[in-house]
Amino acid sequence: MKHSVIIKKLVLLSLIATSTQTAWSHVNGKGTYRIEITMDQAGREALKADHKTEVPNVNMKVYSAGKLTDEEQVEISTRGQSSIKFPRKNFSIKTLKDEGGEKKKVKVGDLKSKDIVMSAGAMDNLFVKNSIGYALLKAIGIHSLKTQFAEVEINGSSQGLYMLTENQTDNLMKDQDAEVVFRRRYNDALELKDAKKELSQTQIEQYQATLRSVHKSIRELSGDELITRLEKNLNLKNYLKWLAFNYIVKNGDYSDEVYFYGKTNPQTGEMVFDVSPWDMDDSFSEKMHSSSIFTSANFHRTKDSQKQMIYNYESRIDRKVAGDEKLLRMYFEAMGEVVDTLSQGSTLFEIQDKILSDLTPYLDDADIQVNGRLDEGQARHSRAAIEDEVKVKMAKVYSRMQDIKAELNVIKTEESINHRVLDLAGLRKVLIKINNVLMREFTK
């Protein structure tokens, strides 16, 4: 083993050992939250594993500015895929049923839920990318989860700063009154996440068939006929605005990071789906993931293909938007609306100030700073570094929008945009299909 690798492992082990000691200090400042979780030693060791584990009955206390505000018995489990290898794990917290068989909600700041996701942000330096992404989505009218920061302690040892959200599916079922929720996976595979209890299995299958038909309709239709078909069962405007958002922030992996939530339109009786994105820790990427693989759809994102201003070709819908003149024109209009919305007044500065005001009360705490060394970046979460990162990324959003505005002004002068339409040869389409099927199998 190389000396550098040995040294790196020793440093990491020493940091982990340090993090198991009693916390140096509690975060008690105004506007701060702390979660204390207590369990037996066997449970604590189980949560350190590099695979998903759960501990069924632990105590959870919530503090606001140093004062105890809630206490519940909960189940805690680790979550994530590639992030599971990091010492600072992502967790899912679920409250237990009381004697009457009901589950109580736990409250942390603005969040109140039976199921809370606690993200360590091991690959997103203190959640800067997710914070920016969620705020931008809200500004353009796309459903986005509420977020809340909190220091997390387990058995008296600080785990650093976490971002808390409600469970995505639960939030959609409750706040958006969704009847059914699916998550899109690779190759447009649809994973059922939840459905209302009163729905029959047949009704759930009808919803799934409807959403599948949206993805399949692009094979047979084009132009106005395709747009009419898509709008029948999909909030197409929101989908296109979401694509525009991903292009602006250069989201390196988003095809499978989206939930489709559906309900029946009472006027038409049609099942209609909307989108709810999540997990934007791959935004501000220099290139799309798998773009260096010849068979990957994203391998075909050449300089010429940038004329469509689409950052990902993995979904059939996205490739169709890039390859259909009328749908592409509609996308450019949606892009213009997004840019106009984010350019109004001091929108970007307000977003930046809100993120910094939420984060900074925690950034002088020694426990939070040192726990950053356990993440992918292995750097202290210092106030100056985090503030700079937020400002730099917001400046990138602003600069990116100026370039997009200039391109949209050119597009407005073009009578035809045929030269912008994506054109993939038959062999390329076959290779992409094979690659997506393999991705679908490997990522189940």
Q: Tens of pLDDT along 272-306?
A: 999 999 888 889 988 776 666 666 666 656 665 67
Minimal CA–CA distance to 256: which of 173, 160, 191?
191
* Residue 18 placed within a domain: no
* Residue 15 placed within a domain: no
The reported pLDDT for the residue numbered 134 is 94
* Residue 12 placed within a domain: no
Residue with the bigger pLDDT between 80 and 196: it is 196
148 and 213: one domain? no
C-alpha dist (Å) from residue 57 to 98, 165, 337: 12, 21, 49
272 and 192: one domain? yes
Span 409-435, average pLDDT:
82
Q: Is 13 exposed, middle or buried (0-12, 13-18, 19+ CB in 10 A)?
A: exposed
339 and 360: one domain? no
* Residue 402 placed within a domain: no
436 and 296: one domain? yes
**Residue ranges making up the domain that contains 110:** 23-166+351-395
Give 126's pLDDT tier (boundaries 50, 70, 90).
Answer: confident
Residue with the bigger pLDDT between 304 and 63: it is 63
Report which secondary-structure segment, H or E, holds 78. strand 67-79
* Residue 405 placed within a domain: no
The reported pLDDT for the residue numbered 290 is 67
* Residue 93 placed within a domain: yes
Give 384's pLDDT tier (boundaries 50, 70, 90).
Answer: confident
Contact indicator for 355, 126 with CB cutoff of 8 Å: no
Whether residue 235 is predicted with pLDDT greater than 90 in this model: the reply is yes
Give 331's pLDDT tier (boundaries 50, 70, 90).
Answer: very high
Using one digit for the tens of pLDDT, what is the confidence trace for 193-219?
Answer: 999 999 999 999 999 999 999 988 888
- Rounded CA-CA distance 321/340 in Å is 21
* Residue 173 placed within a domain: no
The reported pLDDT for the residue numbered 182 is 97
| Mean pLDDT lowest among 102-111, 351-360, 421-430 | 421-430
Tally of domains in the chain: 2
Neighbours of 394 (CB within 10 A): 21
Whether residue 249 is predicted with pLDDT greater than 70 in this model: the reply is yes
Minimal CA–CA distance to 172: which of 275, 46, 257?
275
Using one digit for the tens of pLDDT, what is the confidence trace for 136-181?
Answer: 999 999 999 888 999 999 999 999 999 999 999 999 999 999 999 9
318 and 427: one domain? yes
Angle at 28 between CA 25 and CA 34, to 5 degrees: 85
202 and 313: one domain? yes
Residue with the bigger pLDDT between 386 and 15: it is 386
* Residue 378 placed within a domain: yes
Contact indicator for 389, 59 with CB cutoff of 8 Å: no
Mean pLDDT, all residues of the chain: 87
Whether residue 5 is predicted with pLDDT greater than 60 in this model: the reply is no
What's the whole-model pTM score? 0.86
- Three-state DSSP class for residue 72: strand
